[in-house]
């Protein structure tokens, strides 16, 4: 065991983040921390590395073990180049190399015992130098930089000139090269393209040390980790297996909790009915028996009703008017920036109802295409034509359409002035902004919160053509699943850029890949893309050098095998879960009506009205019959 966390508790004021959290990480184990945004994942990492003190509990790292931590955001200011920054990690190896060169020079002038002693020292240092991979240092460093998406002509760029995402990639490269015994990675793939993510997956799978990751990429987690540590409502629970195994076990646990709750509720209703019947006999013996049963009910430990998974966040997208069949026509489009050609002479069409994903390496021009369509960028050549009655809503990954100085209420009311304050509050509540949250300024929101307010604006737009740039960035897994469901049900047209392969696989009906300045069309989801990428790339966008294609195909084939095994099973499981949820919702609705009837029948104007009383009693009986049948249906689905 390399790391042990025992009874970790942390609260900020009255907001309890972690409650008696305990788990451990074994040597060489690959584990992930999951939970909704705000659950305390980053807080837990910061406690582990000592940046934050827990209120209670102990963090123990095995003696002599090293730990490395990658934060989500990097603010590095350095005059060193990218290559020099990563090379500085290997200073001890460079010192050994320098020492070896000096000793080699010195050997020329020695003999006898002095030479023998120097040779022995040289052999010791040489052995350590080889052990630390000194002879392959340059190729290792270059491999890491290229794997993380840096081209050779970028190696000489100074750190101080890089974007935030590039700085994060440099920090990740430094950390990987330092090879600590335990790697802590907080959202390591946020700024990586698909090829770099696939490279990092393979790197971590073969990493000799232990890894603890916070990530929302389910595809990534399925391939890399063998343990899931869940934070839910402050409680921490560990699950063996990858993300899919965790999701299955979590669903089973939830079903067990629901079954226990519903069985107990059924028993309570049965006992209450018996008690009422015994009391209605109005005899001393029957009343005593009723009192005995009441005491038994009072002693029963009533189970809490299991909460719905993010049941309070609602996203329903629906166009207000129907567009024509031809939604978008792009012909002979070209764009380049000084010294950076993006794409040339690309053409494609999008038809009503399609869900189209644009994928490709960083810097190939994916976001630029979206900006050209939205007239935020001018093309060098070519044309973009919208079809009849097409109305666009644009979701920008940087949320530049949001006004940083406005409050959430102002952001919605200024765009939709006809909405009342109550209507705006209801919309914001559907995206988890309640109470005084609605008066927060946009500039004070986290990335995930800005994503949610952008989604709220998107839902209100009722446009028939959604253009989304990295819509899942900063969203937790549950929020991604809600967005996936909304897009699948959306009857309009969607064009989006994403690096989230799981999201693409769940939502895309077509994929456009920007590769080698050209575009390749795949009529299918990400599974289909993996199956056909090698074949179609060679036909429509051949490589100038074969190096990238080899690594990409290698990663793709193993990913394809993973998905092929699970695809059919996941489809069946999704259908069962949907049916189960429908039944649970219907039970909740009928029980609410039953409670309303009980309340009405306690009112004098009702219980003195024989006709009304009879009517309500019949309705109550009908409801109970339906509820009982639904319970049976629920149990059948659960089994």
Could you read off the pLDDT of 548-574 as tens digits, one per residue? 443 344 444 444 555 555 566 666 777
Q: What is the secondary structure of 502-559 as a DSSP string? A: HHHHHH-SEEEEEETTEEEEESS-HHHHHHHHHHHHHHHS--SSSHHHHHHHHHHHHH
- The pLDDT value given to residue 557: 46
615: pLDDT strictly greater than 70: yes
* Sheet of 326-337, strands arranged across: 340-351, 326-337, 381-386
- The pLDDT value given to residue 449: 82
Which residue shows structure tokens 């990493």? 207
Pairing relationship of beta strands 355-360 and 510-515 according to DSSP bridges: parallel
76: pLDDT strictly greater than 70: no
Q: Which of 569, 579, 572 is nearest to 636 (CA)?
A: 579
The three-state secondary structure class of 80 is coil
- The pLDDT value given to residue 328: 96
Could you read off the pLDDT of 144-158 as tens digits, one per residue? 999 998 888 889 988
Q: Mean pLDDT, to the nearest integer, of 344-369? A: 92
- The pLDDT value given to residue 151: 86
List of residues 6+ apart from 296 with CB closer than 8 A: 271
Could you read off the pLDDT of 442-500 as tens digits, one per residue? 888 877 788 888 888 888 888 999 999 988 887 888 888 888 988 999 999 999 999 89
- The pLDDT value given to residue 561: 53
- The pLDDT value given to residue 636: 66
- The pLDDT value given to residue 222: 92
Query: What's phi and psi for 24, nearest 5 deg?
Result: -145, 160
Q: What does pTM read for this prediction?
A: 0.65
Question: What b/e sequence results for 310-324 when a residue is b if at least 16 CB atoms lie within 10 Å of its CB, and e otherwise?
Answer: eeebebebebeeebe
| C-alpha of 313 from chain center | 16
**What Å distances lie between residue 359 and 162, 199, 355, 535, 574, CA to CA?**
23, 16, 13, 17, 26
**What Å distances lie between residue 44 and 7, 29, 230, 443, 623, CA to CA?**
12, 18, 11, 25, 47
More confident residue, 355 or 131: 355
List of residues 6+ apart from 304 with CB closer than 8 A: 261
Could you read off the pLDDT of 184-209 as tens digits, one per residue? 999 898 788 888 898 999 999 999 99
More confident residue, 249 or 591: 249
- The pLDDT value given to residue 129: 85
Average the pLDDT over each of 25-39, 118-132, 167-181, 569-583 and give the range with the smallest value. 569-583
- The pLDDT value given to residue 137: 86
Average the pLDDT over each of 225-239, 271-285, 364-378 and give the range with the smallest value. 271-285
Structure tokens, 417: 């002035």
Structure tokens, 210: 């232990």
Question: What b/e sequence results for 216-249 when a residue is b if at least 16 CB atoms lie within 10 Å of its CB, and e otherwise?
Answer: bbbbbbbbbbebbbbbeebebbebeebbbbbbeb
- The pLDDT value given to residue 382: 94
More confident residue, 315 or 144: 144
- The pLDDT value given to residue 635: 59
- The pLDDT value given to residue 184: 95
Tell me the torsion sign for CA atoms 42, 8, 228, 203: positive
Q: What is the secondary structure of 90-144 as a DSSP string? A: GHHHHHHHHHHHHHHHHHTT--HHHHHHHHHHHHHHHHHHHHTTGGGHHHHHHHH
- The pLDDT value given to residue 553: 41
pLDDT band for position 545 (50/70/90)? very low
What are the residue ranges of helices labelled H in 206-312? 218-224, 243-281, 284-299
**What Å distances lie between residue 510 and 351, 353, 354, 594, 599, CA to CA?**
11, 11, 7, 47, 54
Q: What is the secondary structure of 559-611 as a DSSP string? A: HHHHHHHHHHHHHHHHHHHHHHHHHHHHHHHHHHHHHHHHHHTTSHHHHT-HH
- The pLDDT value given to residue 582: 84
CA angle 123, 127, 130 (to 5 degrees): 135
Question: How many C-beta atoms lie closer than 10 Å to residue 115's C-beta?
Answer: 15
The CA distance from 137 to 124, in Å, is: 19
Question: Percentage of the chain with pLDDT > 70?
Answer: 92
Could you read off the pLDDT of 251-303 as tens digits, one per residue? 888 888 888 888 889 889 888 888 887 787 677 777 888 888 899 889 888 88
- The pLDDT value given to residue 566: 56
79: pLDDT strictly greater than 70: yes
- The pLDDT value given to residue 389: 94
Average the pLDDT over each of 242-251, 551-560, 586-595 and give the range with the smallest value. 551-560
Q: Are 63 and 472 in contact (CB under 8 A)?
A: no
Average the pLDDT over each of 89-103, 266-280, 533-547, 583-597 and give the range with the smallest value. 533-547
CA angle 146, 447, 507 (to 5 degrees): 70
The three-state secondary structure class of 362 is coil
CA angle 213, 214, 216 (to 5 degrees): 120
Question: How many C-beta atoms lie closer than 10 Å to residue 458's C-beta?
Answer: 20
Q: Mean pLDDT, to the nearest integer, of 116-129? A: 89
Structure tokens, 256: 């067990």
Could you read off the pLDDT of 37-48 as tens digits, one per residue? 778 999 999 999
- The pLDDT value given to residue 354: 95
List of residues 6+ apart from 555 with CB closer than 8 A: 195, 198, 199, 201, 202
pLDDT band for position 396 (50/70/90)? confident
Structure tokens, 432: 């988890």
Q: Are 357 and 512 in contact (CB under 8 A)?
A: yes
Structure tokens, 342: 């993006």
Average the pLDDT over each of 140-144, 178-182, 312-316, 538-542 and give the range with the smallest value. 312-316
Q: Mean pLDDT, to the nearest integer, of 381-405? A: 88
């Amino acid at each position: 065991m390399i790391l042990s966390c025992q009874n970790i508790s942390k609260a900020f004021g009255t907001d309890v983040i972690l409650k008696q959290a305990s788990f451990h990480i074994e040597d060489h184990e690959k584990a992930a921390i999951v939970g909704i945004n705000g659950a305390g994942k980053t807080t837990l990492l910061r406690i582990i590395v000592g940046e934050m003190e827990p209120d209670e509990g102990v963090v123990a790292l095995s003696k002599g073990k090293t730990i490395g931590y990658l934060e989500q955001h990097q603010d590095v200011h350095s005059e060193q180049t990218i290559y020099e920054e990563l090379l500085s990690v290997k200073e001890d190896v460079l010192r050994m190399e320098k020492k070896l060169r000096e000793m080699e020079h010195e050997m020329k002038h020695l003999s006898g015992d002095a030479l023998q002693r120097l040779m022995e020292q040289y052999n010791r240092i040489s052995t350590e130098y080889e052990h630390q991979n000194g002879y392959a240092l340059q190729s290792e460093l270059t491999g890491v930089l290229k794997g993380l998406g840096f081209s050779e002509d970028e190696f000489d760029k100074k750190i101080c000139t890089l974007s935030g995402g590039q700085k994060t990639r440099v920090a990740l490269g430094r950390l990987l090269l330092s090879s600590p015994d335990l790697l802590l990675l907080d959202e390591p793939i946020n700024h990586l393209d698909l090829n770099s993510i696939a490279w990092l997956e393979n790197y971590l799978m073969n990493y000799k040390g232990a890894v603890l990751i916070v990530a929302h990429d389910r595809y990534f987690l399925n391939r890399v980790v063998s343990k899931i540590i869940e934070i839910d409502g402050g409680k921490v629970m560990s699950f063996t297996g990858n993300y899919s195994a965790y999701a299955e076990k979590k669903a089973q646990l939830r079903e067990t909790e629901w079954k226990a709750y519903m069985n107990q509720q059924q028993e309570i209703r049965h006992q209450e009915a018996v008690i009422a019947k015994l009391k209605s006999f109005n005899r001393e013996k029957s009343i005593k028996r009723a009192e005995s049963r009441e005491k038994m009910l009072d002693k029963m430990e009533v189970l809490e009703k299991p909460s719905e998974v993010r049941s309070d966040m609602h996203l329903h997208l629906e166009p207000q008017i129907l567009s024509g069949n031809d939604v978008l026509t792009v012909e002979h489009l070209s764009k380049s920036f000084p010294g950076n050609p993006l794409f040339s002479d690309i053409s494609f069409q999008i038809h009503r109802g399609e869900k189209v994903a644009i994928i490709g390496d960083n810097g190939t021009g994916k976001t630029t295409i979206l900006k050209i369509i939205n007239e935020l960028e001018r093309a060098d050549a070519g044309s973009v034509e919208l079809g009849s009655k097409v109305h666009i809503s644009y979701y920008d990954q940087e949320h530049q359409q949001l006004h940083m100085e406005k409050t959430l209420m102002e952001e919605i009311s200024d765009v939709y002035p006809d909405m009342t304050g109550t209507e705006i509050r209801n919309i914001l509540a559907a995206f988890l902004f309640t109470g005084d949250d609605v008066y927060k300024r946009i500039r004070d929101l986290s990335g995930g919160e800005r994503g949610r307010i952008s989604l709220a604006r998107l839902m209100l737009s009722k446009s028939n053509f959604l253009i989304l740039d990295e819509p899942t960035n900063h969203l937790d897994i549950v929020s991604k699943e809600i967005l996936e469901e909304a897009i699948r049900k959306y009857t309009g047209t969607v064009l989006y850029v994403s690096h989230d392969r799981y999201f693409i696989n769940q939502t895309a009906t077509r994929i456009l890949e920007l590769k080698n300045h050209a575009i390749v069309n795949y009529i299918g989801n990400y599974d289909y893309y993996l199956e056909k990428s090698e074949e179609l790339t060679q036909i429509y966008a051949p490589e100038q050098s074969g190096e990238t294609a080899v690594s990409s195909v290698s990663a793709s084939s193993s990913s394809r095998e993973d998905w092929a095994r699970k695809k059919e099973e996941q489809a069946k499981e999704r259908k069962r879960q949907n049916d189960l949820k429908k039944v649970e919702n219907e039970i909740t609705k009928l029980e609410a009506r039953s409670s309303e009837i009980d309340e009405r029948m306690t009112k004098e104007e009702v219980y003195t009205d024989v006709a009304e009383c009879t009517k309500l009693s019949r309705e109550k009986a009908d409801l109970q019959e339906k509820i009982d049948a639904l319970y049976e249906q629920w149990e059948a689905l659960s089994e």
